[in-house]
Structure 1
Amino acid sequence: MPTPATTLGYTACLLLAGVGATAFPVSAAPPAPAAAATATGQERDPQALAALDRMGAALRALDHFSLVSDASTEVVLEDGQKIELDGVVTYKVKRPDQLFLELRSDRQLRQLIYDGDRLTLYSPRLKYYAQVEDVGATLGELVEAAANRYGIEMPLADMFLWGTDKAPKTAIRGALHVGGGTLDGESIEQYAFKQDGVDWQVWISSATSLPKKLVINSLDDPAQPQYRARLRWDTRAPVPASAFQFTPAADVARIKLVPVEVAAVVPDADPEN
């Protein structure tokens, strides 16, 4: 366990490690033109692609929301056995630049708070926090900066990118409208998509065009581990300003967050608490 004066030499993804995944894999780099050209009109169902456009527009239109996601991630051990890890992801958001994120499971508790200027990563059980001042980014910019500079991969983060040029539909090689149904008593339409290294499905509310369920199947691993999430939205109740404020208790120690490119030494720390 590092002392309070320890400088973190490993990336911040350890602070936020756990149950979580990128929401919509299309934000990955687009496939090569030759690969994209092999998709026929039948493979890329216009109805399914149009549903993604509507979903992006609905996400962009939200000026504030709260989101709770019951998430499950499969981890593949060295012998090929799959282990399922469950957790809850909670977001509280006020556009353009305020965010609260919590990842909670039996094994760990992590929080990320952004007030439009200061980014805070907090581990309540370990009683450590790290802060970066003068970030000055919109939420879409924050997602990219946090990942590229500090290795912070926020779960479901593509909901801040979908509908922009950061989530190009050209990455999608196959798109299918599976059909309609109900989920949590709400009418939905189910869609399935294929792209390099991943298959994924999304269940979209017919009433709001917001995603209600997500399944991501990784094809890069022969075991094909899955990520699954059920999303519960609250777009009506206002999010209080206090959600984006962080004041450490007296027994909470501050540590330094080191950018990925200068991180060289992994300290003897236990990231599982």
Structure 2
Amino acid sequence: MTRTLRTISHRFGLALLAVSALLGDGRVALAQDSKSPPVAAPAKDFKDERALAMLRRMSDTLGGAKTLSFKVRGIVPTHAPTGQYVSLFASSRVVMQRPDKLFVEARGDLFPSDTFYDGKTVTVIGVDNKFYTQRDAAGGAIEALMQSVQPGSDATAPFLDLLVADPYAFLTKDFSSAFWVGQSTIGGVKTDHLAFTAPGLDWEIWIGAADKLPRLMVVSYRTGERQPTFTVEFSEWKLNASVPAKTFNATIPKGAVKLEFKQIGQGK
């Protein structure tokens, strides 16, 4: 997530942090000596071990799964011709099989497409525009693949950072603060709300208290030309379920035009 969180340092969040403020509903209830006045640690240096432990448990849950499938939906701020930001809706269905198979069905307002990776070839098919792009990627693990397949993935595919073998290490690289905000109910699921900061961004994540799975993420960029804030909600998680092999095999639509595959960072 330094790529999507910086990309949290590749990705995710919102840290507020007046740690000294004890909210009436107990949402920032940090342990302290009742006989001493509250002492606020500087936001940039505050690292709540409770929050880090919760993030680690989520990471272990995701990293230990042989297969993962889930749905995401989000609101992505996008520049309009007037210079203002308008909110576009994005949704995806994701299926992954470790170590090297991935399918992403992207829909909504942003580039409807299907992405297939079968361990040998990555194929992206534009659903509406009847074109596709394809390249060899034999032996490439998903961690390497995700660096080049999804243009603009910081906003449209933040879930990619959760698919690596160790999401915790990826998400906490270069982080500067972490704290447990409290508990919330998201989509009927009781969650723990965590907040983090990293260079140039703040990010928040809501993790299921029982199942240790991510349910919501909010990322706010503070520098650069990226979208100011975007929100992604996760649902319909399935771990270690059987996945048909054909899920990762691309079928090129008849008459589809092949385009050149360009990696992120390549010139036009």
With structure 2 as the length reference, what TM-score do the two structures score? 0.76
Native 8 Å contact 1:86 1:105 kept in 2: yes
The answer to whether residue 227 in structure 2 is matched with residue 245 in structure 1 is no
User: Pick from 28, 36, 40: which aligns with 2:10?
Assistant: 28
Contact 2:67 2:96 in 1 (8 A): yes
- C-alpha deviation, 1:161, in angstroms: 3.0
247-256 vs 193-202, which moves further: 247-256
Alignment correspondent of 1:177: 180
Partner of 2:215: 212
User: Does the residue aligned with 1:136 lie in a helix, a strand or coil?
Assistant: coil
Where 2:60 maps in the other structure, the secondary structure is helix
3-state DSSP of counterpart to 1:135: coil
Q: Does 1:235 find its partner at 2:217?
A: no
Provide the identity percentage: 25
Q: Which amino acid aligns with 2:128?
A: R
Q: Is the 8 A contact 1:28 1:171 kept in 2?
A: no
Change (3 A) 1:217 1:260: closer
2:123 to 116, 120, 123: 120
> Deviation of residue 57 (structure 1)?
0.9
Unaligned runs of 5+ in 2: 12-40
Give how far 1:219 is off.
Answer: 1.1
8 A Cα contact 1:69 1:89, kept in partner: yes
Other structure's SS at 2:146 match: helix
> Counting helix residues as a fraction of each chain, which structure ranks higher?
1
1:236/1:161 CA distance change after superposition, 3 Å: closer
CA–CA distance in 2 between the matches of 1:201 and 1:260? 26
Q: Is the 8 A contact 2:94 2:105 kept in 1?
A: yes
Displacement after TM superposition at 1:155 (Å): 3.6
User: For 1:24 and 1:261, how far apart are their aligned partners in 2?
Assistant: 16
Name the residue aligned to 1:202: 205
Residues 1:44 and 1:25: Cα distance change in structure 2 (over 3 Å): farther
Partner of 1:257, secondary structure, is: coil
User: Could you tell me how far 1:225 is from its partner in structure 2?
Assistant: 2.1
Which stretch of the first structure deviates more once superposed, 124-133 or 159-168?
159-168
Answer whether contact 1:146 1:152 (CA < 8 A) is retained.
Answer: no
2:201/2:219 contact within 8 Å kept = yes
- Equivalence for 2:33: none
Asked if 1 retains the 8 angstrom alpha-carbon contact of 2:9 and 2:199, the reply is: no
> Could you tell me whether the CA contact under 8 Å between 2:125 and 2:252 is conserved in 1?
no
Counterpart residue number, 2:22:
none
Deviation at residue 127 of structure 1 after TM alignment:
0.9
Tell me whether 1:256 sits opposite 2:260 in the alignment: yes
Matched residue, 1:13: none
Give yes or no for the alignment of 1:102 onto 2:84: no
CA RMSD of aligned residues (A): 3.0
Aligned residue-pair number: 233
Residue type at the aligned position of 1:255: L
Structure 1 72/242 Cα, relative in aligned 2: closer, same or farther at 3 Å?
A: same
Displacement of 1:156? 1.6
The unaligned stretches of length 5 or more in structure 1 are 1-20, 30-37, 265-273
